[in-house]
Structure formats: structure tokens, C-alpha cells
Structure 1
Amino acid sequence: MAKYKGIEVEDAVRPLLPHMPLIEEYREMLQSLQAIWDNLNLLGQLSGTTAEIGQTREAFASLTGELLNNLAEQTLAKREQEMKARSQVVIDILIRNLFERTADIGFLATDGAIRQFAASPDDPWALQQRFREYVRKYSVYDDIVLLDRNGRILVRLAEDDRIAAIRDAWVREAAGTTAAYVESYAHSELFPERERSLIYAYRIRSEFGETLGVLALCFRFGDEMQRIFHGLTVHDDPAVMTLLDADGCVIASSDRWQVPVGAELRVASGQMQRVRFAGRAYLAFASDTKGYQGYMGPGWRGLVMMPVDQAFDIQDDDGLDIGDPALLASVMSGGRAFSEPLRAIPRKAEAIQRDLSRAVWNGTVRHGVATSAVVNSAFSKILLREISRIGMNMREVFSRSIGKLQSTVLSSLLADSQFFAGLAIDIMDRNLYERANDCRWWALDDRIRALLANPSAKARREGLEQVIRYINSLYTVYDNLLVFDTNGVVVAVSNPAYSALVGKTLEAAWVGECLALHDSQSYAVSPFAASALYGGKPTYTYLAAVRAPGDERVVGGIAIVFDGAPQFANMLRDALPREASGEAVAGSVALFVDEAGQVIASSDDSYRVGQTVSLPAELIKPEAAGCARLIALDGQVTAVGAWPSAGYREFKGADDAYRNAVTALVFIPLGAYDPQARSMAVEGEVAMRRTSQPTDGEIREIATFHLAGHWLGLPVTAVIEAVDLVGVACLANAPKQVYGALIYRNETLPIYNLHAALGLPDDEQPGVRRQVVVVRGESGGNFGILVDRLGEILEVPTCDINDLANIYVGVASVLASVVTTHGGGAQPMLVLLSEETMREQLRGCPLPAPQSA
């Protein structure tokens, strides 16, 4: 622990507190109020007015430190979680993308046209057109190059007359590797103006296994990183997102003016750190990739850096808008959102405020009883009123601080749910972008086109299945690939389990849509529905028209059946929020739903595919930037984040005819929901005031208190003081008007149960101690009244008090009179009790021996 301006705080947050303006504001307000209170307390002690009040000073100071320390820790934890999540996504989204590239190079290296050219180079124009067609679909590449095994350029999409041959090491490596691909991120002579280029390469082999050359796919690395950064950037965001190579060198940056490419940063992974860079202090969080399908990438890391002096400026000082108060009250009573120390803070604040209120209330009562004996009675009452006012101000600051603490914790959880929903839908869009590309490219395969255009070709089915089975072996996200003719008759399948489909006619409407596609850039997608092509399970099927070699005549189509069940579930599981251990948050669930709220996929079995979820409309059809809500769901208070599909690159873009509204939802359970739960009642001001304008008539002082929503009172002269309900003993077989007894000033004090006497509900709140108003009895026969909380001490003109004796009879006769004017705004009517009636009722009840409390 460390000291910060008189407050004890954790070492980790001490250097950051000067940069947390909101916490500084609360600290200054609380310490200023405490200084005023100290002066008032000193005056009270000198006048003998506030003997009890000084006891709460230390408790207030302790709670001030605890509250501000926790608020600082939660503010830091919220920022850390945001930075951790973003740094993880920076690297993992990229790794998923690069995994697809490793499959692309392996397949494209077997392309017949490329093989033929590598074996017998001639006019490169036709092959350049084929490369151009590929890049139109796979727009993640900016160049494709075919070289001989010595590095001489045979064909290049982006022609450059200055470069005829290159000596890059990856050329030799790709020509002789036994691996499935070669991945190189280094300076390449293909792009002399670039410091580094990301290239995927593989050898071209003849049908006899001879190496004919090397094919290279040049990835649009800079463009892709800026897309990733842009998708993770929030408005007015001071954070800098970067990508580090294995040596800690920055290879991509969202803000090259703050953190330039080429800078070296030595940061450990998996922990928040404070670093200095270019003379400025930053918070930094770096994440290693979790990998994808066993692919771990080139050893890169995602890093998020936040300038310390701006890290905590992006705060929303408004509380969360939670329509149902039971939601917040339920979360505060238990669950994962708030630790026990955090849940205890509001209880401690309320207990301290209650103690202060009781001290002021008792002091005011005493001065009201002994007015004639106290020379400085007017001064004492003014002093007590001022102490009460300062106490109210402190309570207001505590309330705002606690509200901000609660808001920080909950808004962090809501932001998590929204962020991870955005991650899930981004993963889906990027994945399905590849599917739309695959079907269109494979429809251009020369072998598929030739065999499908020639119904009488020998071993037609075997030839087609050889091609599509090889494709399916590289692209395992598909359950099956089918080729069909212009009548919709299945000619070949890649998965032997579906061999029975060969020769059968596909009746689905999307067959006609596929065969009617007007060019090689167009594709069709089935609705998400149960399909015989997928064993009766629902999925998407992507289709493209196959055209005859040499012309645009459609000769059939190719259908690729996405293995939706495991693939979508894996995407959703990867997007679940995680504990520090790396395990998914217990009970958290992620879904993909359509615009009708029907489940497309779930991260576990808690939701069935096809089931309709009942949620607010803004979660099913959220705005483009997503949203998050706190709701009651299946008996749990749940943070729900939602994010709609926006597509990726050309997929679902402005020029894409395909539209399919899908929303990702992430649910984080926070605790059991109790619709009756309510936050603690707030203590009101207890100092003395008048109920109406000054009058020349007689004035009576009334000590008031609250009970089950009713405002009750007794003459100050009938009251000794208020005490906490501590050490009460239950009385066996006692009448309902007797709550129990406690020891007061070495005597047994019976406690009158007004709840029972007046037939009021007894809604005692757990963890909140009630109070007992001690009523002055005859010959020392004092008794107590159980109350929920204390009210004000009022000066009431006698003419404003109306007798109720002729209206209420029986047990209700404890209600003696009513104050007709109290000036309390929204306060209920003030009813005065009859201490004589209560005393008589207690006298008529022989008190049994006390039992254990």
C-alpha cells in the first residue's frame, strides 16, 4: 500500500491516480467536506453538542480510502481488459486470415494453367488474365508471380519491366521444401520500395513430380492491418494498436506518428505494463496468438499502447441507464460482477451515514428536551443542522462515487459483451468471405470446366471427384463439394458419404439461381436451412456457375457445403469472454441469430439451432456499431452484447448483391435475478426544521421516523434516544405487538412491534440493521419502538396537529394524531403515535423469559 494525498491506495494504482480526473474530483470533494466536518466537530465538542459524532470520523476516512482505491482499481481493470481484448484480436484475426493463405498457395500451385505455363512458357497474357481473375475474388492479394526455380520471373500480375529476376531466399526454399507452404516476411526484390513484404510461396511440379518453378502470392499486409485497426478503433481513441514481430520490432501501427514502424519495444506478453517510449509514458498490453487450426503464424504479437496521460480521460460520467432497479440490486447482492469487498462498500457507507444520522438525531432530541437548561441551545441546534447538512453532502458524494464504481464495473462487462459479439460477427464475415471466393474460383478450374462441358467424357465422374476431393482435403471447412449439370443432376461429390446423391436431381431454388448467374464474379448462397446435402442439418451452401472452356456457356454449377455446425460453434467459442486463466466465463454463451431471432449457431447446447430467442428488438436488430443491455434472462441478470453483420471487403459490400442479416449475441451471466430486490433505503436529513412559516402560537417538537413507507413521530419529550437493534432476544409465545427485548442501560427494554400492531409488511433488508427509538416511560419503565430509519426533528405548530382518536379504534389507536402541514414535498402524511397506548398494550402482555436471539 502507498499514500496518495492522505489516502492509502494500492501500489499499482498510486502512480496512475494523478491521471484519473474523476477520482481526483471525488477525492477533493470528500476531503474538503471532511475538513469542514472536522471544524464543526471541534465546535461541537467545545459546546458539548456532538460527543457521538466524532466516532464516525475515522470510519468515513477509512471508507473514503477504500472507495477511491476500489474505484481506481476498477477503472484500471476496465482499461486493462479493453487493451487485453484488443491486443488479442489484433493478432488472432490476422492469424485466421493468414491460415487461409496457407491453403490458397497449396491449391493454386496445382492449377493446370499455371503448371502448363511453367512447363512451356509462352505469351504471358492469358495467364496474367487468370491471375487478375483470382485477385478479383481474393482481394487480399496485390500480386501473383510465377518464377522459374532460379528466380527468373515468368509471369507477373503487376508487371515491372525493371525486374526480370530476383534472388530472394524464399524462392530457393519454396523450390525444395517438404512443408506445405513457405511464408516469408522480409524485404523482397519484387517490391524494392517496400521495407518488407509478406509472401506465400510453393513449388510448381509436373505430373511426374519435377519442380517446374515457384508460385508466389503477395499478401496486402498493410491494407489488411489498417482494416483490422480500423475495426477496433473507437471514437476519440488515444490508443495505438501495433503488431510486433518475433524480435519486438513494430511491423504495423495504427498511428505511425506516435509509434512508427521499425520502432523496437521490449514488452512481455499477457500483463499490463507501464513503459516509456519516445519520452512519453504508456500503458501497454501485448498478446501472443492462440493460433488457429494448429497454425501459429510467424511468431508475431498484438500490442496496444495507451498514453498514461490520456488513458482515463475516455470516461462516461453518467450512470448506466438501467430501467429495472431490481437488476442492479440483484447484481449487487451476489454473482460474478462484484466481489464481496465491492458489495460491502455501499453497506458500509449506509451504516456510517446511519450512525451519523442517529448521532445528530439524538443530539437534536436531547437539546429539544433540555431547551430551558442549555444556554447555547440555539447554537447547538444550528451546529447540528450544519453537521447534518455536511453529512448529507458527504452521502451525496459517496452515492455518486459508489454509483460510478458500480457503473465502471457493469459498463466494463457490457462493453465486453458488445466487443466479443463484434469479434464473433467479424470472424463469421471474414470466414464466409473466403467461402464466396472459393466457389467462384473453383468454378474456373480447367479440369472441372472441361469434364462438365463433355457429358460423354470417359471416367467423367472419377475425374471430377479427383479434383474436388483434393480441394476438400485442403479446405476442411467444407463437409462436401458437389458438381451438377444444367439439369441440376449431381455428377460428382467429394465426400464418399454422399455418393448416393450422384445421379439425383437437386430441387432447391438456388440451383436455378446458380445456373442463371451472369458472370464469373457472381455467386449464390442458399438460405440457412436444413439440407439433404448436409445430412439434414442446416447450413449455408455457396454456389457458382461453371462455364465451358473458351466461352461463357453455362454447363453446370459447383456447390460447396459449409460444415456449419462445428465451424460456427468454434467461431463462437473463440469469441467467448475469458477469465484470467484463459477459461471461458462460466455460463457465458454466444449465438448467431437471423433477423427473426432464430438461432443459426450456438457456442454450446443451451440453445438449439432453429430456436427463437426472445430479446428486445435493439438486440436482435442492433445499430451498425452494436449495442449492449442488462436484462433478466432465465432467472439471471445477464449482460447481452449484440453486433450485426457488416461483411468484409467485397463480401456483403456495396457492390455485392448478396444480403443476409445476421447478428452475433454474447451473453454473460452476472448473478441470480430477484424481481423484488431493491437498493438500500437512503437516510434522509435528520436535523431540526419547521413544517410551516413561523407563528406566534405554541410550537411542539416532533421526533420522526419511517416504517414500511409510513412517516411516524412522537413528541421529543417522550423520546430518550435511538439505538441500533443489537443483541435483541426473541420472546417465546409473546403477543404479536412484542418484537423482543434487549438490554438498555443495564435494564431489560421491551420492543414494541409497530409492523405487527399496524398490520404492515415486514420487509427487512438483509445486512441492514434496524433501529430502536427508546421511549421514556413512567417510573423508569422505558420501552423501544422498532423502526426502519430515522427522520427529521420537526417544529410543528400545535394548531397543525389534529386528533385521530375519534376515527381509529382498536389496535389502530396507537395512531394518535396527524400533522396537516409538513412542507415535506413528496413525503407521506406525518402521523403521531400514542406512547400511552403502546405502553398500556405492553403492560397487558406479561413478558416471558428471553430466548436466544
Structure 2
Amino acid sequence: MAKYKGIEVKDSVRQLLPHMPLIEEYREMLQSLQAVWDNLNLLGQLSGTTAEIGQTREAFASLTGDLLNNLAEQTLAKREQEMKARSQVVIDILVRNLFERTADIGFLSTDDAIRQFAAEPGDLWALQQRFQEYVRKYSVYEDLVLTDRNGRILARLQPDDRVTAIRDNWVREAVNTTDAYVESYAHSELFPEQGRSLIYAYRIKSERGETLGVLALCFRFADEMQRIFHGLALPDDPGVMVLLDGASQVISSSDPWQIPIGAELQLASGSLQRLRFAGRSYLAFASDTKGYQGYQGPGWRGLVMMPVAQAFDLHDDDTLDISEPALLASVMAGGRAFSEELRAIPLKAEAIQRDLSRAVWNGTVRQGTVSAAVNSAFSKILLREISRVGMSMREVFSRSIGNLQSTVLSSQLADSQFFAALAIDIMDRNLYERANDCRWWALDSTIRALLADSAAKGRRESLERVIGYINSLYTVYDNILLFDTEGRVQAVSNPDHGELVGQMLDAPWVDECLGLRDSQAYAVSRFDNSPLYGNRPTYVYLSAVRAPGNQQVVGGIAIVFDSAPQFSAMLNDALPREASGEPVAGSFALFIDGEARVIAASDTSYRPGQQLALLPELLRPDTNGCARLIALDGQVMAVGAAPSSGYREFKGQEDAYRNEVTALVFIPLGAYDANSRLSASAGEVAMRHTAFAADVAVREIATFHLGAHWLGLPVSSVIEAVELNGATTLANAPKQVYGAMIHRNETLPIYNLHAALGLPEPAENTGIRQQVVVVRGDDGKAFGILVDRLGEIMEVPESDIDDLSNIYVGIASVLASVVKTQPGSGQPMLVLLSVASMSEQLRGSGIAVAVDA
């Protein structure tokens, strides 16, 4: 622990507190109130008015420290979680993208047209047009380059007369490697003006296995990183997202003016750290990739850096709009969102408020019972001032505790929305690849030639050799089918589905595919049960295959997405994680369509096709997504929703394909109790002073509450109010006898007004801490009355008090009279109790006799 401006705080937040403006504001308010309270306490002790308020001084100081510490820790934890999640996504999204590139180079390096040109260079323009066809479908590439085995450029999508040969290491590596591809991020002579370029390369071999040259796919690295950064940026975000290479050097930055390319940042992964760079202090969080299907990428890391001076300016005044009180109360009662320490803070604040209110109430009662009170006028002013300070204190407590709760819950809600956005982004990026794959493979020379020639020898075997190799590279497909213009299957990549060959496809997408206008167009089935996928639901992506040398359609290619494991993996990758890396227990994620039907789920409790009934804004969120607290299957859930917005050209303005999909991520926060309520307020205790004419007889009333009922007693009959502690029930006692407790070393019988008046007892989950009003009986013996809350001390004219026997017949004898209220005042009716009646009932029960003995 350390001292910060007179308050004990934890070392972990001491240096950060000056940068947390909202917490500084609460600290100043609480310390100012504490100073005023100390002065009032001193005056109260000197005058003998309020000796009790000094007893809560230590509790107030302790709560101030607890409150500020926890608010600071939760504020820091919220930032850490944001930074951790974003740094992880920066690298994982990129690695997923690069995994697809490793498959692309494997496919293109077997392209017959490229192979033939490498063996015997011919029509350069025709090959460049072929390159253009590929890149039109995959805008992730800025160039395709074919070299001979020594680096002499044979063909290039973007010709540069200045560069006719290169000496890049990746050329030699691609010729000699035993791996399936070469991945290079270094300076390349292909792009002399760029510092480093990301290139995927592999050798081109003849049918005899002779190395003819090297093909290179040049990835648009800078463009892709800016897309990733833009998608993860927060509004008015002072932070910087960075990509580090294996030597901890910055290779991409969302703000190169703040963290430039080439800067070296040495820090460990997996924890929040303080980092000083260029004279500025930062919070930093770096993450290693989790990998994708065994591919770990080039050994890079994602990093988020936040200037300490601005790290806590974002969203510090978030407010939660929770329409159902039971949701928040249930979360506060238990579960993962709030620790025991956090749950104790509102209870401590309520106890302080209750103690202070009771001290003012008791002080006011004493002023009314001491006929010759010394400095009576001063004492009443002091009590009113203490009451005013108590109201200010309650307001500060309420605001700060509310902000603490908002910080914790808004963090959970933000997590759910972030992970939903991640899930849908992974889906969009993945399906972008699927829409492109079918069009790439429809360009394959062997496929085009064989589908155009129905009499070709070994046609099926040759076709299946090509698509079987493709399927071995692209493992996200269950099967690849080729069909002719009649819709008859000619070949399949998966031998397990060999029986499909020769069968007619009668799905509506067959005609749609065969009618596609050009090689840039594609078709997609609905997400429905398909006989091509064991009658399970999936997407089928299709492109028309055209004859060599012209645009005549000679058939189609259908790729059957292996949706069950692929969607499950996407959703599992988007689940919130514990520090151990395991998904949060009970969390799950869904993809749903525009009709709120489940497409896929990480939880087996939800089946594809199942209809969901949730809040409309979750089922069809706006483009920015949303998050809500809901009750689901006995749990309070933070639910985040994010709609599909596509990726690059996929679902873009020029893409005719539209498919409404939403990702939902559910995070459990605690068991739901519809009857749960937050702790009730201790209520305001004040003296209502009304000026009456000198000849008007007035009576001073001490009031209190039972549920919604407002009750009172003459101040002259009241001794004090105390906390209900250590009460014991008595065997065989009448219902109106609650039990007894020790008060001032004597046994005090307690009268149960709830039972006497037929009112329900307060439920335990309402948070009401009952108090005992100690009353002087008509025989001089003291007894207690169990009440829910103390009320105000007020003066009323005797003429405004009506005996209940004059109004109601048969009314419970414990009710003596009512105080008239002004019509239209909106105040409940104040009912005065009969001390004599309650005392008599206790005596009749035998309790008073036992006490006297």
C-alpha cells in the first residue's frame, strides 16, 4: 500500500491515479465531505448533540479508500482488457489472412498457363491478363511475378522496365526448399522504394519435376494492416496499434507519427506493462498469435500502446441503461462480474448512511425530549447541517458506486460487443476467401479444357487429380464438384462422395451459376440443409467454367464449405477467455441469419435452424453493433451483437451478393433472480420545521417506514433507534412478538409491526437492514418496534391529528390516529401508533413479565 493525498491506495494504481480524472474528482469530493464531517463531529461532541456520528468516522475513511482503490483498479482492468483484446486480434486476424496466402501460392504454382510460359516464354500480354484475372478477385495482392530460377523476370502484373532481374533471397529459397512455400518479409528489388515487402513464393516445375522458375505473390501488407487498424480503432482513441516483428521492431503502426516504423520496443507478451518511449509514458500490451490451423505466421506480435496521460479519458463517465433492476441486483448478488470485495462496497456505504441517519434521528429525538436543552437552537441547526452533509455524502456514494458498477458492467458489455464484432469479421474475411476461391479455380486451364471436351480420355481422373490437389491445399472444404451445362456431376475432390459423379444436381443454384455474366461473378446457395453435405446446412459457392479462349460456359464448379467445424472454430476463437486461456465458463457465441435463425453455435444447446427470441436490437443491430444485459436460462448474460458488413469487395457496393448475418456473443455474469433488488436506501432523516402561530398547539412526531407505509410516534415516547443486532426469537411467542435483544445490558422485547398489521416481512434479497425503535411504554418499561427505515422528525398541529376510532370501525388497535395531509401534496398518509396498545400486547404475551423479572 502507498499514500496518495492522504488516502491509502494500492501500489499497482498509485502512479496512475493522477491520470484518472473521474477518480480524482471523487477523491476531492469525499475528502471535502470528510473535512466538513470532522468539524461537525467536533461541534456535536462539544455540544453533546451527536456523540454517535464519531463512531462512523473510521468506517467512512476506510470506505473512501476501498471505493477509490476499486474504482481505480476496475478502470485499469477495463483498459487492460481492451488493450489485450485488440493486440490479440491485430495479430490473429493477420495470421488468418496470411494462412490463405500459403494455400494460394500452392495453387497458382501448378497453373498450366504459368507453367507453360516458364518452360517456353510466349505471349506476355496474355499471361499478364491471366495475372490480372487472379488479382481482380483477390485485391490482397499488389503484384504477381514470374522469374526464372536465377531471378530474371519473365512476367509481371505491374511491369517495371527498371527491374529486369532480382537477387532476392526468396528466389533461391523457393528453388531449394522442402517446405510447401516460402514466406519472406524483407527489402525486395521488385519494390526498391519500399522498405520491406511481404512475399509468398514457390517454384514452378515441369511435369517431369524440373524446376522452371519461381512464382511470387506480393501481398498488400501496408493496405491490409491499415484495414485491420481501422476496424479496431475506438472513437477519439489516443492509443496506437502496432505490429512487431521477431526482433521487436515496429513493422506497422496505426499512428507512425507517434510510434514510427523501425522503432524497437522490447517488452514481454501477455501482461500490461509501463513503457517509456520518445519521452512519453505508455501502457503497453503485446500478444503472440494463437495461430490458425497449425500456421503460426512469420513470428510477429500485436501490440497496443496507450499514453498514460490520456489512457483514462475514454468512456470514464459511461452510464448504464438497465431497464430491469433485477438484472443489476442479480449480478451484484454473485457471479463472475463482481468480487466479494466489490459487492461489499455498496453494503458498507449503506451501513454508513444508516448509522449517520440514525445518529441524526436520535439527536433530534433527544432535543424533543429534553425540556430544557442547552443551546437547543444551536443543536437543531447542527443536526440540520449534519443531515445536509449526509445527503451530500449519499449522493457522492451513489454516484461513485454507480460509476464503479458501470465500469465493471460496461467492460463486460464492451467485451461481448467486441467479441461479436470479431466473430463476424472472421466470418466475413473467411467467406471472402470462399467467394474468391471458386472463381480462381474456374480459371484453371486443365479444368476449362476438360469440361469443354466431353470425349477427352481419362477426363474424370484428370479433373479429380486437379481438384483433389486443390482440396488438399484448402482444407476448409468438404468437397469440390465440377458439373456440365446440364447440371450433371463430372468429378468430385472427395473420394467419399464418388457416388455423386453422373448424378444430376437439381438445386436452384445450378442455373444461377451457369447464367453468371462473366468470370468476375459468383453465386452462393442459401444456408440450408444440402444433400452434398450429408443433409446438414452449409453454403455452396459457385462459379461458371468457361471454354479455353472464349466466354462460352461449359460447366460450373461448386465448392462445399465444411461449415460445421469451420463456423464452430470461428465462434470458439471469438469467445472471451480467462487468464488461463480457457473460454469463460458458460459463454457461447452464435451466428444467426436475417430471420433470427441459428446458422452456427459454439454451444451444442443451439441447433442450426433454431429460431431465437431476443431483443429486436440484438437480432438486427445497427451497423455499429450493440450490447445488452438480458436474463437467459436462469443467468444474467452480457450479450453483444454485430452485423455482417463484408470485407473488401465481398458484400461491397459492387458485389451483387447480400446475406444478412449477425454474430452474438453471450457472457454469463451471475444467476438471475427476478425478485432480487439492490440494497434499499437508508432514507433521508431531517427535521421538518414549520412556523406556527404562538397559540397553535403542536406535537413533535418521530416517523419511520414499514415498506410503503409511513408510521410515527410522539417524540416524547421514543428513547432512540438502534441497529437490529443479535435478536433472538422466542419459542411459542405470539406473531406480533418478534423476539428480544440485549439493549444497555437489559433484555428488550421487540414488537413485530409487520405481523401485527398483516404486512409481509421484507424479503432477504431486498437488501433492507431492519432497525429497532426503542419506545418507553405506558408503564415506563422499554420495548422495541421493528421498522424498515427511519423517517423524518416533524412538527404537526394537534388539530391535524384525528383519532382513528372516529374514522374506521374495527381498525387494528395498534393504530391510534392519522395526520391530515394537504390535498394534492402527493404525500402518503402518516399513521400514529398506540404505545399503550403495543405495551399491553407485550404484557399479555408474558414477555414484559419475563423482562421485569
Using structure 1 for the length normalisation, give the TM-score.
Answer: 0.98
- Partner of 1:813, secondary structure, is coil
1:109 aligned to 2:109? yes
Q: Quickly say closer, same or farther: Cα 1:695–1:73, change in 2 above 3 A.
A: farther
What is the CA distance between 1:823 and its match in structure 2?
A: 10
CA distance in 1, matches of 2:10, 2:422: 33
Query: What is the letter of the counterpart of residue 132 of structure 2?
Result: R
Q: Aligned residue for 2:19?
A: 19
Q: Aligned residue for 1:515?
A: 514
CA distance in 2, matches of 1:14, 1:825: 51
CA distance in 2, matches of 1:298, 1:413: 32
CA displacement, residues 579-627 of structure 1 (integer Å, 9 cap, x when unaligned): 1111100000100000111000001202111111111111111111110
1:218 aligned to 2:218? yes
Q: Aligned residue for 2:123?
A: 123
Task: Return 101-110 or 495-504, whichever deviates more.
Answer: 495-504
CA distance in 1, matches of 2:537, 2:812: 68
Query: What is the letter of the counterpart of residue 188 of structure 1?
Result: S
Residue pair 1:424, 1:664 contacting (<8 A) in 2 also: yes
What is the CA distance between 1:203 and its match in structure 2?
A: 0.5
CA distance in 1, matches of 2:694, 2:446: 107
- Partner of 1:306, secondary structure, is strand
Q: Aligned residue for 2:261?
A: 261
CA displacement, residues 490-514 of structure 1 (integer Å, 9 cap, x when unaligned): 1111111111111111111110000
Query: What is the letter of the counterpart of residue 686 of structure 1?
Result: V
Q: Aligned residue for 1:446?
A: 445
CA distance in 2, matches of 1:62, 1:825: 41
- Partner of 1:486, secondary structure, is coil
What is the CA distance between 1:326 and its match in structure 2?
A: 0.8
Within 5 Å, give how 1:754-793 maps onto structure 2: 754-766=753-765, 768-793=768-793
Q: Aligned residue for 2:715?
A: 716
Q: Aligned residue for 1:414?
A: 413
What is the CA distance between 1:816 and its match in structure 2?
A: 1.2
- Partner of 2:57, secondary structure, is helix
Q: Quickly say closer, same or farther: Cα 1:737–1:808, change in 2 above 3 A.
A: farther
Query: What is the letter of the counterpart of residue 300 of structure 1?
Result: W
What is the CA distance between 1:695 and its match in structure 2?
A: 6.6
Q: Aligned residue for 2:377?
A: 378
Residue pair 1:485, 1:491 contacting (<8 A) in 2 also: yes
Residue pair 2:778, 2:839 contacting (<8 A) in 1 also: no
Query: What is the letter of the counterpart of residue 727 of structure 1?
Result: G
What is the CA distance between 1:806 and its match in structure 2?
A: 3.0
- Partner of 1:12, secondary structure, is helix
Q: Aligned residue for 1:486?
A: 485
Q: Aligned residue for 1:557?
A: 556
What is the CA distance between 1:392 and its match in structure 2?
A: 1.2
Within 5 Å, give how 1:494-505 maps onto structure 2: 494-505=493-504
Task: Return 120-129 or 397-406, whichever deviates more.
Answer: 120-129
Q: Quickly say closer, same or farther: Cα 1:679–1:570, change in 2 above 3 A.
A: same
CA distance in 2, matches of 1:695, 1:465: 110
Query: What is the letter of the counterpart of residue 788 of structure 2?
Result: D
Q: Aligned residue for 1:252?
A: 252
Q: Aligned residue for 2:635?
A: 636
CA displacement, residues 629-665 of structure 1 (integer Å, 9 cap, x when unaligned): 0111111111000000000000000000000000000
Q: Quickly say closer, same or farther: Cα 1:187–1:726, change in 2 above 3 A.
A: same
Using structure 2 for the length normalisation, give the TM-score.
Answer: 0.98
Q: Aligned residue for 2:526?
A: 527
Query: What is the letter of the counterpart of residue 4 of structure 1?
Result: Y
CA distance in 1, matches of 2:524, 2:301: 36
What is the CA distance between 1:850 and its match in structure 2?
A: 9.7
CA distance in 2, matches of 1:24, 1:66: 14
CA displacement, residues 771-802 of structure 1 (integer Å, 9 cap, x when unaligned): 10011024442111000111111111112212
What is the CA distance between 1:173 and its match in structure 2?
A: 0.5
CA distance in 1, matches of 2:436, 2:339: 48
Query: What is the letter of the counterpart of residue 328 of structure 1?
Result: L
Q: Quickly say closer, same or farther: Cα 1:220–1:745, change in 2 above 3 A.
A: same
Q: Aligned residue for 1:671?
A: 670
Within 5 Å, give how 1:566-605 maps onto structure 2: 566-605=565-604
Q: Quickly say closer, same or farther: Cα 1:561–1:581, change in 2 above 3 A.
A: same
- Partner of 1:812, secondary structure, is coil
Q: Aligned residue for 1:148?
A: 148
CA distance in 2, matches of 1:471, 1:144: 19
CA distance in 1, matches of 2:640, 2:736: 51
- Partner of 2:461, secondary structure, is helix
Residue pair 1:692, 1:823 contacting (<8 A) in 2 also: no
Q: Quickly say closer, same or farther: Cα 1:254–1:786, change in 2 above 3 A.
A: same
CA distance in 2, matches of 1:530, 1:111: 34
Residue pair 1:731, 1:850 contacting (<8 A) in 2 also: no
What is the CA distance between 1:252 and its match in structure 2?
A: 0.3
Residue pair 1:729, 1:850 contacting (<8 A) in 2 also: no
Residue pair 1:44, 1:383 contacting (<8 A) in 2 also: yes
What is the CA distance between 1:573 and its match in structure 2?
A: 0.1
What is the CA distance between 1:765 and its match in structure 2?
A: 3.0
- Partner of 1:373, secondary structure, is coil
- Partner of 2:198, secondary structure, is strand
Query: What is the letter of the counterpart of residue 409 of structure 2?
Result: L
Q: Aligned residue for 2:166?
A: 166
Query: What is the letter of the counterpart of residue 403 of structure 2?
Result: K
Q: Aligned residue for 1:277?
A: 277
What is the CA distance between 1:45 and its match in structure 2?
A: 1.0
CA distance in 1, matches of 2:744, 2:92: 70
CA distance in 1, matches of 2:849, 2:80: 59
Q: Quickly say closer, same or farther: Cα 1:695–1:291, change in 2 above 3 A.
A: farther
What is the CA distance between 1:828 and its match in structure 2?
A: 2.0
Query: What is the letter of the counterpart of residue 37 of structure 1?
Result: W
CA distance in 2, matches of 1:168, 1:223: 23
CA distance in 2, matches of 1:242, 1:576: 23
Q: Aligned residue for 2:545?
A: 546
CA distance in 1, matches of 2:491, 2:190: 41
CA displacement, residues 561-582 of structure 1 (integer Å, 9 cap, x when unaligned): 0000000000000000001111
CA distance in 2, matches of 1:822, 1:693: 16
Q: Aligned residue for 2:182?
A: 182
Report % sequence identity: 77
1:841 aligned to 2:844? no
1:744 aligned to 2:743? yes
How many residue pairs get aligned? The number is 850
Residue pair 1:335, 1:672 contacting (<8 A) in 2 also: yes
Q: Aligned residue for 2:654?
A: 655
Q: Aligned residue for 2:197?
A: 197
Within 5 Å, give how 1:301-450 maps onto structure 2: 301-370=301-370, 372-450=371-449
Residue pair 1:597, 1:613 contacting (<8 A) in 2 also: yes
Query: What is the letter of the counterpart of residue 115 of structure 1?
Result: R
Residue pair 2:513, 2:542 contacting (<8 A) in 1 also: yes
- Partner of 1:337, secondary structure, is coil
- Partner of 1:844, secondary structure, is helix
Task: Could you tell me which runs of 5 or more consecutive residues in structure 2 were left unpaired when the two chains were aligned.
Answer: none
- Partner of 1:652, secondary structure, is coil
CA displacement, residues 538-560 of structure 1 (integer Å, 9 cap, x when unaligned): 00000000001111110110000
CA distance in 2, matches of 1:360, 1:822: 27
CA distance in 1, matches of 2:816, 2:222: 83
What is the CA distance between 1:42 and its match in structure 2?
A: 1.0
Q: Aligned residue for 1:62?
A: 62
What is the CA distance between 1:827 and its match in structure 2?
A: 4.2
Q: Quickly say closer, same or farther: Cα 1:68–1:494, change in 2 above 3 A.
A: same
Task: Return 339-348 or 772-781, whichever deviates more.
Answer: 772-781
CA displacement, residues 407-433 of structure 1 (integer Å, 9 cap, x when unaligned): 000000000000000000000000000
Residue pair 2:778, 2:835 contacting (<8 A) in 1 also: no
What is the CA distance between 1:679 and its match in structure 2?
A: 1.3
CA distance in 1, matches of 2:810, 2:716: 25
Residue pair 2:749, 2:848 contacting (<8 A) in 1 also: no
Q: Aligned residue for 1:139?
A: 139
CA distance in 2, matches of 1:720, 1:425: 66
CA distance in 2, matches of 1:809, 1:276: 81
1:625 aligned to 2:624? yes
Query: What is the letter of the counterpart of residue 673 of structure 2?
Result: D
1:794 aligned to 2:781? no
